[in-house]
Amino acid sequence: MPLNAPEAGQGRHSPRALWMILIALLIGAILVALVAAEFGIRWLQGRKYGTAARVEDHLVIDPAINLRVPRANLHFGRIETNSLGFRGPEIQVPKPAGRIRIAFLGASTTWCAEVSGNDKVWPHLVVDDLRRAFPNADIDYVNGGVPGFTTKSSLKNLEHRVAPLRPDIIVIYHAINDMSLELRGHAASRGLTGELRENTPSWLATKSLLWDLAEKNVRIWLAQRKVEASVGRLEMDAESLGEPFRRDLTALVQAARKTARVVFVATFSTRLRAEQGAEEQLRAAASNLYYMPFMTPEGLLAAYGRYNEIIREVTRDAGVVLIGGEAEIPGDAQHFTDSVHFTDAGSRAMATRVSSVVGRNPQFKEVLER
C-alpha cells in the first residue's frame, strides 16, 4: 500500500455527524421560513393598515385623569391624531361662534383602526353627510372613541377631555367592551376561565406578529371546538345580563345631556346574525370567541339582544334620541373585519345609519337654526 494512501474511513463523516448536519440544516431552514413569514405578515399588515405596529402601543396614561388616551400628533400608518389626541382633524379652541360641534363617544368601533384612513372613519363620514345636507352650516367634530373604552371610561373621557370642547351634539356608541367584561366576570366566578385577562397576548406575541396570529388562531379554533363539543359553556339567562351596563350608560347619557343640546345613542351592530347557518355563525363570532371562549353564537346573540334592549330602555327613560337599525349593516365580511369592527363599507353603512337619524331630527335642526 502506498505510504500516502488514506486510512480506511478517513475523509468520511460518521452517521452521528451526518445527523447533526441534517438537523442543523433543518433548523436553519425552519428559522429562515419563520423569518420570511414574519416579514411577510408585517408587509401585508403594513400594506393594509399602513403600519405593522399595534394601536395599543400608541396609547398613553394621562396622569391627570388616570385614563389611557391616544398620543397627540400621532402619525401611525393610516391613523392620525390631532394636537389634542383625538383621531381626526384639528379642533379649534375656543370653539368659533356659530359653529356646531358633534362629539362621538365610544371604543375601538368608533376609533375604527381597521378602515383605510381618517376620512373613512364613520364619525368623519357622518359629518360629511351633514355638511352636504346642510351646506350653510358650520360643523366640525370630536372623535372621542378610544380602543378598549367602556361606558365608564367614556364618562371620564367626556368630563375631562370632550366637554371642555363644548360639543352641541353627542353621539354614543357602546356595548361590546361592557358586555365582554360582564360575561368574563360571570365565567370567572363559575370557574370557566382563570382570570379576566387570560387572553392577554404573551410576551412573544407582543414581539412577533406571526406568533400573535398563531396564538389567536389556536385560541379561536379551541373555542370553536368547545362550541361544537358543548363543553365549557357559560349557561345563563340573558335577561339577567346588563345591569352594570344600564347603570354606567345611564350615567354617561345624563352627563352628556348636561354637556350638549342633543344626545343620540346608537344600538350596537355585529356581524353575527340569527339567520346565519352554523358555520357562518362560527366565522362571524370568531373574534368574540377569542375573548370569550366560554360563549356560543347563540349565547352571544342573546347577550347582544339584551344589551341593545337596554340601550333602547335607557334612551327612552332619559329622553334622548335612539339610533336603531343595527341590522341595516349587513352581517358579512364585506362590512365587518371581525365580529364587530367595520371595513370601509361597514363604516360607510354605519355613517348612513347615524346621519340619516341626526339629519332628520327636529332638535338637531333647531340647533342649526340657532
Summarised one tens digit per residue, pLDDT across range 84-114 is 999 999 999 999 999 999 999 999 999 999 9
Torsion sign over Cα 106, 107, 108, 113:
positive
Best CA proximity match to 303, nearest among 172, 186, 153: 186
Per CATH, the number for 55-369 is 3.40.50.1110
DSSP string spanning 91-142? --SSPPTT-EEEEEEESHHHH-TTSSSGGGSHHHHHHHHHHHHSTT--EEEE
Predicted local distance difference test score (pLDDT) of residue 142: 98
Cell of 246: 344600564
pLDDT tops 80 at residue 224: no
The pTM (predicted TM-score) of the whole model is: 0.81
pLDDT tops 80 at residue 7: no
Domain ranges of the chain: 55-369
Burial of 80 (0-12, 13-18, 19+ CB in 10 A): middle
Structure letter (DSSP) for residue 254: H
Predicted local distance difference test score (pLDDT) of residue 11: 53
Cell of 8: 480506511
Summarised one tens digit per residue, pLDDT across range 285-343 is 999 988 888 999 999 999 999 999 999 999 999 999 999 999 999 999 999 999 999 99
Confidence of residue 33 (pLDDT cuts 50, 70, 90): confident
